[in-house]
Amino acid sequence: MIKPEIQQVKNRFGIIGNNETLARAIDIAMQVAPTDLSVLITGESGVGKESFPQIIHQYSRRKHGQYIAVNCGAIPEGTIDSELFGHEKGAFTGAIGERKGYFGEADGGTIFLDEVGELPLPTQARLLRVLESGEFIKVGSSKVEKTNVRIVAATNVNLSQAIASGRFREDLFYRLNTVPIQIPPLRERGEDVVLLFRKFASDFAEKYRMPAIQLTEDARQLLQAYYWPGNVRQLKNITEQISIIETNREINASILNHYLPAQERQRLPALFGIKESKSFESEREILYQVLFDMRQDVTELKKLVHEIMNERPPSAAVVPPVATGVPTIIQPSVKSIHQVDDDIQDTEEYVEETLAIDDAEKSLIRKALEKHHGKRKDAAKDLRISERTLYRKIKEYDLE
């Protein structure tokens, strides 16, 4: 049973669903709101993380102060320090005037740093200083300034992996993660998917002045079984597409299937007659395992042939010496042991050559770039490598 105060928050901020994990996340946000503790909100892209900083701000003593949301991933690395901390006139080319910066503007309020995992390391050091002492220095200045800002951060990046690879400061992680809030992905929210679909369908029916679409029972089952990699954002987009395109307002599983991306439909259970397969994220591991298994098979085959040949009678016999004293070799009609061995060796070299790790890596990078239409940032994220590494690999393999 959901608490009345949690239901009130859901109504106020337009949060749909009865999932217990979601309700727990709302409860934590309400409990931590009156304090000044830093909060780190984690969850996949599209789960609705942006609602929780607003809950924290509105239920805090800072609710009458400024609330500023900053998308750290959308600001270029060269200007992000200026955006966050401000700059002095003439600090860099184009700085024709003084800028206050978000930490100066939000003094006494709350700053929401979305995609905080995308911050460059120098900016992370500046942010750490603000969290520890409330102090910062504008770009091009030597004067230390003070600010009283509550920081709420969010990320869909695995920060533990980012720390291990040197892309995120461990001390900053612990400062931000004073209170963690985990938002569940849509695929783990059960019947919430149907409730959200119904709400979006009603909204679009009102927006486009048409009857609302409705789901049949098999369509509801399909909706709940789908993986939803884009979470609530993806569900909303698909609902809008169906609302506009379909003339039949009753949507069955067959119609719904046309709007679900084929790659993700493969994750549906056998109930819908579709085979389950791995995602692109695990394709590298699958390929390496296949290479390893094939190498083992070739090695076992080579050993087996050697054992068989060793058990057979010799293919060539030595005739007792004749008058010349030189033994005569009877040539067999089949390949000799050495010829067989040479063939086996050649096979192994061929497998090693064609299945080299470099070729596999090159193929994966090409596939990722094609999948994301040449967008290197998305391709690097899919491959779980940095954009800089991807750029180097593209040059190395001549994939421009």
Question: Residue 54 CB: number of other CB atoms within 10 A?
Answer: 17
- Looking only at the bridges linking them, the beta strands covering 250-251 and 214-215 are parallel
Domain 4-184, classified CATH 1.10.3720.10, yes or no: no
Q: What per-residue confidence (pLDDT) applies to 356?
A: 59
DSSP secondary structure code for residue 197 in this structure: H
Q: Given this model, what pLDDT does residue 316 score? A: 45
Query: What pLDDT is recorded for position 371?
Result: 86
**Which pLDDT does position 106 carry in this prediction?**
96
DSSP state string for 248-304: SSEE-HHHHHTTS-HHHHTTS-GGGT------GGGHHHHHHHHHHHHHHHHHHHHHH
Q: What is the pLDDT of residue 166?
A: 96
pLDDT tens-place values along the chain, 400 residues long = 788 999 999 999 999 999 999 999 999 999 999 999 999 999 999 999 999 999 999 999 999 999 999 999 999 998 999 999 999 998 888 888 899 999 999 999 999 999 999 999 999 999 999 999 999 999 999 999 999 999 999 999 999 999 999 999 999 999 999 999 999 999 999 999 999 999 999 999 999 999 999 999 999 999 999 999 999 999 999 999 999 999 999 999 999 999 998 755 555 554 444 333 334 444 555 555 556 567 667 777 777 777 676 665 554 444 444 444 444 444 444 444 444 444 444 444 444 444 456 777 888 888 888 888 888 888 888 887 887 788 778 878 888 7
Q: Report CA Rg, the chain.
A: 31
Which is it for strands 150-155 and 110-114: parallel, antiparallel or unpaired? parallel
Check if the beta carbon of residue 383 is closer than 8 Å to that of residue 284.
Answer: yes
Q: What is the pLDDT of residue 268?
A: 55
Contact indicator for 215, 223 with CB cutoff of 8 Å: yes
d(CA 86, CA 324): 101
Residue spans of the domains in the chain: they are 4-184, 187-276, 282-314+330-396
pLDDT given for residue 326 in this prediction = 45
Phi, psi of 47, deg, nearest 5: -85, -10
How many of the other CB atoms lie within 10 Å of CB of 318? 10
Alpha carbon distance 174, 170 (integer Å): 7
DSSP annotation string for 18-85: --HHHHHHHHHHHHHTTS---EEEE--TTS-TTHHHHHHHHTSTTTTS-EEEEEGGGS-TTTHHHHHH
CA atoms within 13 A on the CB side of 281: 5
DSSP state of 329: B
Write down the pLDDT at residue 277. 39
pLDDT of res. 332: 44
Burial bucket for residue 312 (CB in 10 Å: 0-12, 13-18, 19+): exposed
- Hey, is 228 helix, strand or coil? coil
* pLDDT for the residue 347: 45
pLDDT value, residue 103: 97
Is the dihedral angle over the CA atoms 367, 235, 238, 155 positive or is it negative?
Answer: negative
Q: What is the 3-state secondary structure (H, E, C) of 149-184?
A: CEEEEEECCCHHHHHHCCCCCHHHHHHHCCEEEECC
CATH architecture observed for domain 187-276: Orthogonal Bundle (1.10)
Closest listed residue to residue 84, CA positions, set 52, 57, 106, 58: 106
Whether the CB-CB separation of 355 and 292 falls below 8 Å is answered with no
